[in-house]
Structure 1
Amino acid sequence: EYRLTNPPKPPATVEVMDGENRKHTLQVQVLGAEETWHTPSLLLASVGSSGGKVVFSQIRTLDPTEDVKQYGSTLNRNKICDIAFYQKVHLEVDPGQYESEETKFQALQKSDKARLEILQDLLSSHLGLSVAEKQGPLPAYTPGYFLGRHELKLDFLSALQPRLKADNILKLNLLSLQFCGKGVEPSKPTASLMPVFLHACPQRFSTVEYFENLHSEHIGRLLIFSEVMTSSMEGLDGAVLHHGLAVVACQQISGAGRSGNAWLSPEGCGMFSLQLHIRSDSYLGHHVPFLQHVVSLAVVLAICSQAGHEDVDLHLKWPNDIYVGDCIKVGGLVVKTIVDNTMTVCNIGVGMNLDNNVPTTCINALLRELKLAPLSLEKFLALVFTKLEKLLVTLEKGSSGVDQVRQLYYKYWLHSNCEVTVIGPQGSKQEVTILGIDDFGFLQVLAKDGCAFSVHPDGNSFDMLRGLIAPKVK
């Protein structure tokens, strides 16, 4: 049997090349070692030039026993003894993921306190993040409240009737909604079931303030509000419901952004999802990708077009991020679509730092700096829905309406005449100047040879600090 008699030490520094063939020197520090073999299991790598840091917790080189099986006597025994086997450390894995595997679940539960302590130390001591000393329990799921004009709610429920299961339950992809009338005993709210009261008003949401500020005909006229749910998108996903129906949450347990990224949902964040039904024969029906830009513009206009708000420093980053200045992200959105012959159903999820100063800053902090009154969640939502409907109506006026919306978008976006590098799927590079967005909302750029082309948002990411548009890392 071969054993490591002299476990190797990682080098103090290593040189690596990035995707642009630039050389970087990393300082390497061992933070933790495996008990049996004493080989590193946690490494901290620091980039001196930029101050960037990364912790590696899943490190593995060649396993010496596997090497013997593969190479036999052709590999020098002394060489084998100098090769380390680095175990993988999964600090991100919660024991709850293995509840169905009793032995593994029990073992992980016993060490879970240590896992969280190590993770907390890594984030605070080595990555400089502010971490709460004690981790509180997740907030409990809460029921929903169906808000809107009585007649409109009745029409909605009547249209749903053929799809309702026993106990007035509508089954969506990941969430079931139980519509509860007067005298109905609601089920307990869970991650997969939300009772929705038809004839009650929530304590934490002012229906009076919301509807007083809402001046749309369709968008936001029906709204489901819940203090705590998995994700507002789950309240729409999996069914054609109603044009303009909104789902609003104060906190999301599993908020999601683009490409499956987690969306942090602290108290004070303005979060909603919206279902829009776009006619296939309309302008937007022929240019559905343009919708994400219209929605992000509506959010910015809802704030910046208010009297006295002209100096609020909000901007749009292509394709769908909202920034304070040119470096602090405070909002974003995701759009999911279902297309049939006559209609495109768009489920839109929006998250905006409205009244939460962390992790970056928020809209109300900007307003307070300008000695302006803060925005409530109710007024913010009503303003966004009103602006969005006006923009959608403007788009359908033909080329003049499209140009009007596009010019409003350019007023707030960050990229006019910016020079950037576009990296192709095979690594080719092209220096270009940004011209604007085309009819589909794709980024229009001009190459040095005078050739103009469009860059799609779905397959690329835009790094403004580096002036780089590159294929997304899968």
Structure 2
Amino acid sequence: MGPESSEQTQEALILGFLADGGEDFTSGEALSSKLGLSRTAVWKHVEALRGKGYRIEAVPARGYRLVEVPDRLTPLELTPLLATHDLGHTIHFHETVGSTNELAFRLAHDGAEHGEVVVTEQQTAGKGRRGRAWVSPPGLNLYFSAILRPELPPQRAAELTLVAAVALTEVLRETGAEAFIKWPNDVQIEGRKVAGILTELSAEPERVHFVVLGVGVNLNAQEEHFPEELRATATSLALARGQRVPRALFAASLWNRLEEWLDLHVEMGFDAVRQRWKELSSTLGQDVLVRTDRREFRGLAEDIDTMGALLVRTEDGSVERVLAGDVERLRPRATSGS
């Protein structure tokens, strides 16, 4: 560990102790003894944190208190908030990247470990599903990719997308937003897309090497931040709630919840995830139009199977199994008068 990273670690520890202290002051003496540093060294670290935008109050004979955290997504903001055993313990933060998924894929290929996360303030070539672009303005939202090394056969890797959708929808609901999952991996509030998930994997026929789980969540974007063609179909958590979202807090809550669901998936298998996904879905029970690469058809979205595929009962009564495609909810059928 070089001098810079050890200083960052000490700064993160100081922030962690101050965050734990909440509204109370933490004495300089307590910080010195916990960290094995002189009072002067603690003061220097506090000054460095202030220079990075943290408002830290210092009162003689009482100590230090954290008043305000800058709206950033660096390890300094995120680490003190995490309660995970693996996810986010190594954070690769970048002001700007082309795509967090591409960078995470390269890092995983070079040996990055399970739970490492790439997070950025802005993507210049964000990737959406089916080759689409993901619009990623700077400093407003959450864009990250987690590297996972699950003990799964490749055909089960798609389950991780549903795990992420469940975790994300639950965290959005806990903020007061009425979020639902639209099959396969869009999360919506009031029928407008607030988040997307893109899972990519490296595998052999029998074994997954790694999975890159990419998530984009519109947190503080306002209408003017969306391209005109998306304004009718996209939203953000701030637009839905009418108030700004503390991004580091949201990110940490999401990573904590995501790891809980990943652990449950390992322990219990897909069925627990599938049941929760069904409870949170806006697609099941609806008349839908399905567009795949090969064809287009209508039917009633009845269920998802044990691999996450959508089961649609078509107009001729047969059940179609949809593994990939776009699903559009149709208006309820008009009932004919007598």
Identify the TM-score tier after normalising by the shorter chain: 0.5 to 0.7
Match of 2:218 among 341, 349, 353: 353
**Residue in structure 2 matched with residue 390 of structure 1 by the alignment:** 260
> 1:472: which partner in 2?
none
Query: 3-state DSSP class of the match of 2:121?
Result: strand
Alpha-carbon distance in structure 1 between the residues aligned to 2:7 and 2:285: 45
- Pick the aligned partner of 1:294 from 163, 181, 186: 163
Q: 2:309 aligned with 1:442, yes or no?
A: yes
- 2:250 aligned with 1:380: yes
Aligned residue for 2:242, secondary structure, equals helix
Letter in 2 for 1:452: V
Look up the equivalent residue of 1:368 and give its one-letter code.
G
Q: Which of residues 273, 288, 292 is equivalent to 1:405?
A: 273
Shift of 1:421: 4.2
Residues 147, 223 of structure 1: 8 Å contact kept: no
1:454 equivalent in alignment to 2:321: yes
Spell out the pairing of 1:333-344 with structure 2 (5 A cutoff).
333-340=197-204, 341-344=206-209
Matched, 1:270 2:135: no
Match of 1:319 in 2: 184
The CA deviation at 1:209 is 4.2
Name the structure 1 match of 2:237.
363
Q: How far off is 1:223 after superposition?
A: 0.4
* 1:217 positional shift: 0.8
1:253 aligns with 2:117: no
Query: Distance in 2 between the 1:365 and 1:426 partners?
Result: 37
Offset of residue 388 of structure 1: 1.2
Measure how far apart 1:222 and its partner are. 0.8
Q: Is the 8 A contact 1:148 1:222 kept in 2?
A: no
Once the 2 structures are TM-superposed, how far is the Cα of residue 215 of structure 1 from its aligned partner?
1.4
Q: 1:147 to 1:391 in 2, by over 3 A?
A: farther
Q: Offset at 1:391?
A: 0.9
Task: Please state how far the C-alpha of 1:348 moved relative to its aligned partner.
Answer: 1.8
SS across alignment from 2:92: strand
1:422 deviates by: 4.5
Asked if structure 2 preserves the Cα contact closer than 8 Å seen for 1:146 and 1:224, the reply is no
Structure 2 equivalent of residue 419 of structure 1: 287
Identify the structure with bigger relative contact order (alpha carbons < 8 Å, sequence gap 6+): 2
Partner of 2:92: 224
Counterpart in the other structure of 2:43: none
Q: Is this contact kept in 1: 2:287–2:329, CA < 8 A?
A: no
1:332 aligns with 2:196: yes
Letter of the structure 2 residue corresponding to residue 375 of structure 1: V
Q: CA shift at 1:353, angstroms?
A: 0.6
Q: Give me the whole-angstrom Cα distance separating, in 2, the residues matched to 1:415 and 1:313.
A: 15
Instruction: Calculate the aligned-residue CA RMSD, in Å.
Output: 3.0
State the aligned residue count. 257
Contact 2:120 2:144 in 1 (8 A): yes
Q: Report what 1:124 is aligned to.
A: none
Give distance in 2, aligned partners of 1:217 and 1:211.
12
Distance 2:181 2:322 in 1: 17
Q: Aligned equivalents of 2:73 and 2:129: distance in 1?
A: 28
Give identity over the alignment, percent: 25
Deviation at 1:259, TM superposition (A): 2.5
**SS in structure 1 of the partner of residue 195 of structure 2:** strand
Q: Deviations over 1:249-301 (max 9, x none)?
A: 111122121222221111302111111111136xxx65111211111221121
Please give the alpha-carbon distance, in whole angstroms, between the structure 2 residues aligned to 1:325 and 1:375: 18
Decide which structure has the larger Cα Rg and report it: 1
Structure 1 equivalent of residue 80 of structure 2:
212
SS at match of 1:397: helix
- Unaligned runs of at least 5 residues, structure 1: 1-144, 151-199, 468-474
- Mapping 1:70-219, distance limit 5 Å: 204-205=72-73, 207-219=75-87
